[in-house]
Amino acid sequence: MRLRIINPNTTVAMTHKIGEAARRIAAPGTTIVATQPADGPVSIEGHFDEAISAVGVMEEVLNGEKDATDAYVIACFGDPGLLAARELTRAPVIGIAEAAFHMASLISTRFSVVTTLSRTGIIAEHLLEQYGFRHHCRRVRAAEIPVLDLEEDGSSALARIIEECHRARDEDGIGAIVLGCGGMADLTETISREVGLPMIEGVTAAVKLAEALVGLGLGTSKHGDLAFPRPKAFTGRFEGYSNLTRER
Protein backbone atom coordinates (compact mmCIF):
# COMPACT_ATOMS: atom_id res chain seq x y z
CA MET A 1 0.00 0.00 0.00
CA ARG A 2 1.00 3.59 -0.61
CA LEU A 3 0.76 5.77 2.52
CA ARG A 4 1.11 9.53 2.16
CA ILE A 5 2.18 11.25 5.36
CA ILE A 6 1.57 14.97 5.24
CA ASN A 7 3.59 17.12 7.61
CA PRO A 8 1.37 20.23 7.70
CA ASN A 9 4.28 22.57 8.45
CA THR A 10 6.92 23.50 5.88
CA THR A 11 10.08 22.42 7.74
CA VAL A 12 11.82 19.89 5.48
CA ALA A 13 13.94 18.38 8.27
CA MET A 14 10.80 17.57 10.25
CA THR A 15 9.12 16.00 7.22
CA HIS A 16 12.21 13.83 6.73
CA LYS A 17 12.25 12.75 10.38
CA ILE A 18 8.54 11.91 10.30
CA GLY A 19 9.03 9.89 7.10
CA GLU A 20 11.91 7.92 8.63
CA ALA A 21 9.95 7.15 11.81
CA ALA A 22 7.05 5.95 9.65
CA ARG A 23 9.34 3.73 7.52
CA ARG A 24 10.84 2.11 10.61
CA ILE A 25 7.42 1.03 11.88
CA ALA A 26 5.65 0.32 8.57
CA ALA A 27 4.94 -3.22 7.35
CA PRO A 28 7.20 -4.51 4.54
CA GLY A 29 4.52 -3.94 1.88
CA THR A 30 3.91 -0.29 2.83
CA THR A 31 5.53 2.50 0.81
CA ILE A 32 5.80 5.74 2.77
CA VAL A 33 5.61 9.04 0.87
CA ALA A 34 6.39 11.91 3.27
CA THR A 35 5.37 15.36 2.03
CA GLN A 36 4.66 18.90 3.19
CA PRO A 37 2.79 21.90 1.76
CA ALA A 38 4.62 24.22 -0.62
CA ASP A 39 3.61 27.27 1.46
CA GLY A 40 2.69 27.93 5.04
CA PRO A 41 4.08 28.20 8.56
CA VAL A 42 7.41 26.51 9.44
CA SER A 43 5.80 25.22 12.62
CA ILE A 44 2.28 25.04 13.97
CA GLU A 45 1.93 26.57 17.41
CA GLY A 46 -1.53 28.10 17.50
CA HIS A 47 -4.90 28.52 15.86
CA PHE A 48 -3.71 30.88 13.13
CA ASP A 49 -0.81 28.62 12.09
CA GLU A 50 -3.22 25.73 12.06
CA ALA A 51 -5.83 27.48 9.90
CA ILE A 52 -3.25 28.44 7.27
CA SER A 53 -1.67 24.99 7.28
CA ALA A 54 -5.01 23.31 6.61
CA VAL A 55 -5.09 24.74 3.06
CA GLY A 56 -1.69 23.18 2.40
CA VAL A 57 -2.96 19.86 3.77
CA MET A 58 -5.83 19.96 1.22
CA GLU A 59 -3.34 20.55 -1.60
CA GLU A 60 -1.25 17.61 -0.46
CA VAL A 61 -4.30 15.34 -0.39
CA LEU A 62 -5.20 16.45 -3.92
CA ASN A 63 -1.63 15.68 -5.02
CA GLY A 64 -1.93 12.30 -3.35
CA GLU A 65 -5.10 11.56 -5.31
CA LYS A 66 -3.00 11.77 -8.50
CA ASP A 67 -0.46 9.40 -6.99
CA ALA A 68 -2.51 6.25 -6.27
CA THR A 69 -2.53 6.88 -2.51
CA ASP A 70 -4.14 4.16 -0.38
CA ALA A 71 -4.16 6.10 2.92
CA TYR A 72 -3.20 9.50 4.35
CA VAL A 73 -1.79 10.60 7.70
CA ILE A 74 -1.94 14.23 8.83
CA ALA A 75 1.20 14.51 10.95
CA CYS A 76 0.55 17.49 13.21
CA PHE A 77 -0.92 17.07 16.67
CA GLY A 78 -3.80 19.49 16.01
CA ASP A 79 -5.00 17.27 13.13
CA PRO A 80 -5.43 20.40 10.95
CA GLY A 81 -8.07 20.02 8.25
CA LEU A 82 -8.82 16.39 9.12
CA LEU A 83 -12.53 16.29 8.26
CA ALA A 84 -12.09 18.55 5.22
CA ALA A 85 -9.31 16.26 3.93
CA ARG A 86 -11.65 13.29 4.29
CA GLU A 87 -14.14 14.95 1.93
CA LEU A 88 -11.51 14.89 -0.82
CA THR A 89 -10.79 11.16 -0.96
CA ARG A 90 -12.13 7.65 -0.58
CA ALA A 91 -8.92 6.61 1.14
CA PRO A 92 -8.72 6.65 4.94
CA VAL A 93 -7.28 9.87 6.43
CA ILE A 94 -5.95 9.67 9.99
CA GLY A 95 -4.78 12.48 12.25
CA ILE A 96 -1.89 11.77 14.60
CA ALA A 97 -3.70 13.10 17.67
CA GLU A 98 -6.74 10.98 16.96
CA ALA A 99 -4.55 7.92 16.29
CA ALA A 100 -2.59 8.40 19.51
CA PHE A 101 -5.74 8.86 21.64
CA HIS A 102 -7.30 5.70 20.25
CA MET A 103 -4.14 3.64 20.79
CA ALA A 104 -3.64 4.99 24.31
CA SER A 105 -7.22 4.14 25.24
CA LEU A 106 -6.65 0.54 24.14
CA ILE A 107 -3.78 -0.05 26.56
CA SER A 108 -4.70 2.17 29.52
CA THR A 109 -7.79 3.54 31.22
CA ARG A 110 -6.19 6.95 31.81
CA PHE A 111 -3.40 8.74 29.96
CA SER A 112 -1.83 12.18 29.89
CA VAL A 113 -0.57 14.15 26.90
CA VAL A 114 2.84 15.83 26.88
CA THR A 115 2.98 18.45 24.16
CA THR A 116 5.26 21.33 23.19
CA LEU A 117 3.73 24.62 24.42
CA SER A 118 0.86 25.41 26.82
CA ARG A 119 -0.48 27.55 24.05
CA THR A 120 -1.00 24.49 21.84
CA GLY A 121 -2.30 22.40 24.75
CA ILE A 122 -5.74 23.93 24.26
CA ILE A 123 -5.84 22.48 20.75
CA ALA A 124 -5.26 19.01 22.17
CA GLU A 125 -7.97 19.65 24.80
CA HIS A 126 -10.45 20.63 22.10
CA LEU A 127 -9.64 17.47 20.15
CA LEU A 128 -10.01 15.26 23.23
CA GLU A 129 -13.53 16.68 23.68
CA GLN A 130 -14.41 16.48 20.00
CA TYR A 131 -13.23 12.85 19.72
CA GLY A 132 -14.82 11.74 22.99
CA PHE A 133 -11.60 11.09 24.93
CA ARG A 134 -12.00 13.78 27.59
CA HIS A 135 -12.51 11.24 30.38
CA HIS A 136 -9.60 9.06 29.26
CA CYS A 137 -7.15 11.93 29.49
CA ARG A 138 -6.13 13.11 32.95
CA ARG A 139 -4.07 16.09 31.90
CA VAL A 140 -2.56 17.87 28.91
CA ARG A 141 0.93 18.96 29.88
CA ALA A 142 3.44 21.15 28.08
CA ALA A 143 7.23 20.88 28.13
CA GLU A 144 7.32 24.57 27.09
CA ILE A 145 9.50 24.04 24.03
CA PRO A 146 8.91 25.71 20.67
CA VAL A 147 8.26 23.08 17.98
CA LEU A 148 11.47 23.84 16.05
CA ASP A 149 13.63 23.21 19.15
CA LEU A 150 12.90 19.55 18.41
CA GLU A 151 14.95 19.95 15.22
CA GLU A 152 18.03 21.40 16.92
CA ASP A 153 20.92 19.21 17.95
CA GLY A 154 21.97 19.91 21.50
CA SER A 155 18.73 21.68 22.49
CA SER A 156 17.23 20.95 25.89
CA ALA A 157 13.99 19.76 24.28
CA LEU A 158 14.41 16.04 24.97
CA ALA A 159 15.42 16.61 28.61
CA ARG A 160 12.40 18.88 29.16
CA ILE A 161 10.00 16.39 27.65
CA ILE A 162 11.43 13.60 29.81
CA GLU A 163 11.10 15.80 32.92
CA GLU A 164 7.44 16.52 32.10
CA CYS A 165 6.79 12.81 31.42
CA HIS A 166 8.25 11.98 34.87
CA ARG A 167 5.87 14.50 36.43
CA ALA A 168 2.94 13.02 34.49
CA ARG A 169 3.86 9.49 35.62
CA ASP A 170 4.27 10.50 39.28
CA GLU A 171 1.36 12.93 39.66
CA ASP A 172 -1.41 12.08 37.18
CA GLY A 173 -2.41 8.51 38.10
CA ILE A 174 -2.06 7.31 34.52
CA GLY A 175 -1.07 4.17 32.66
CA ALA A 176 0.35 5.70 29.48
CA ILE A 177 1.61 8.95 27.98
CA VAL A 178 0.78 10.41 24.57
CA LEU A 179 3.56 12.48 22.99
CA GLY A 180 1.90 15.53 21.48
CA CYS A 181 3.88 16.68 18.45
CA GLY A 182 4.84 15.26 15.05
CA GLY A 183 8.39 16.41 15.78
CA MET A 184 8.58 13.85 18.61
CA ALA A 185 8.23 10.95 16.14
CA ASP A 186 11.78 9.71 16.77
CA LEU A 187 11.75 10.02 20.59
CA THR A 188 9.36 7.29 21.68
CA GLU A 189 11.88 4.59 22.54
CA THR A 190 14.29 6.86 24.40
CA ILE A 191 11.55 8.47 26.47
CA SER A 192 9.80 5.17 27.15
CA ARG A 193 13.08 3.70 28.46
CA GLU A 194 13.65 6.69 30.73
CA VAL A 195 10.11 6.96 32.06
CA GLY A 196 9.08 3.31 32.23
CA LEU A 197 5.52 3.82 30.96
CA PRO A 198 4.08 3.00 27.54
CA MET A 199 4.57 6.01 25.24
CA ILE A 200 2.21 6.49 22.33
CA GLU A 201 3.43 8.68 19.52
CA GLY A 202 0.97 9.71 16.86
CA VAL A 203 2.90 9.22 13.61
CA THR A 204 3.71 5.59 14.36
CA ALA A 205 0.23 4.96 15.78
CA ALA A 206 -1.37 6.45 12.66
CA VAL A 207 0.77 4.33 10.31
CA LYS A 208 -0.38 1.14 12.02
CA LEU A 209 -4.03 2.25 12.07
CA ALA A 210 -3.85 3.18 8.38
CA GLU A 211 -2.42 -0.25 7.58
CA ALA A 212 -5.22 -1.88 9.59
CA LEU A 213 -7.96 0.07 7.78
CA VAL A 214 -6.51 -0.65 4.34
CA GLY A 215 -6.09 -4.32 5.34
CA LEU A 216 -9.78 -4.42 6.29
CA GLY A 217 -10.74 -2.82 2.97
CA LEU A 218 -12.12 0.24 4.77
CA GLY A 219 -11.93 3.79 3.45
CA THR A 220 -13.59 7.13 4.18
CA SER A 221 -17.37 6.81 3.91
CA LYS A 222 -18.84 8.80 1.05
CA HIS A 223 -22.30 8.65 2.61
CA GLY A 224 -23.20 11.79 4.52
CA ASP A 225 -20.97 14.70 5.46
CA LEU A 226 -17.72 13.14 4.22
CA ALA A 227 -19.03 12.88 0.65
CA PHE A 228 -17.03 14.78 -1.98
CA PRO A 229 -17.57 18.58 -1.69
CA ARG A 230 -20.71 20.00 -3.29
CA PRO A 231 -20.09 21.41 -6.76
CA LYS A 232 -19.66 25.18 -6.82
CA ALA A 233 -17.41 27.94 -8.06
CA PHE A 234 -14.40 29.03 -6.04
CA THR A 235 -13.15 32.54 -6.64
CA GLY A 236 -9.85 34.38 -6.55
CA ARG A 237 -6.80 32.43 -5.53
CA PHE A 238 -8.93 29.32 -4.93
CA GLU A 239 -10.45 29.33 -8.42
CA GLY A 240 -8.61 26.10 -9.24
CA TYR A 241 -10.73 24.26 -6.67
CA SER A 242 -13.85 24.83 -8.80
CA ASN A 243 -13.21 21.67 -10.79
CA LEU A 244 -12.49 19.36 -7.92
CA THR A 245 -16.03 18.96 -7.02
CA ARG A 246 -16.84 16.22 -9.49
CA GLU A 247 -16.66 12.80 -7.93
CA ARG A 248 -13.48 10.86 -8.60
Residues of this chain that bind ligand 2AL (CB under 6 A): 9, 43-44, 76-78, 115-116, 120, 147, 180-183
* Strand order from edge to edge, sheet including 176-180: 137-142, 111-115, 176-180, 199-201
Least Å distance between CB 194 and ligand 2AL?
20
- Three-state SS string over 161-194 comes to HHHHHHHHHHHCCCCEEEEECHHHCCCHHHHHHH
| Beta strand segments in the chain, E | 2-6, 31-35, 71-74, 93-95, 111-115, 137-142, 176-180, 199-201
Least Å distance between CB 142 and ligand 2AL?
9
Of the pair 149, 172, the CB lying nearest ligand 2AL is at 149
Of the pair 90, 138, the CB lying nearest ligand 2AL is at 138
Least Å distance between CB 75 and ligand 2AL?
7
Of the pair 3, 114, the CB lying nearest ligand 2AL is at 114
Least Å distance between CB 115 and ligand 2AL?
4
Of the pair 90, 139, the CB lying nearest ligand 2AL is at 139
Cα pseudo-dihedral 101, 126, 4, 242, rounded to 10? 150
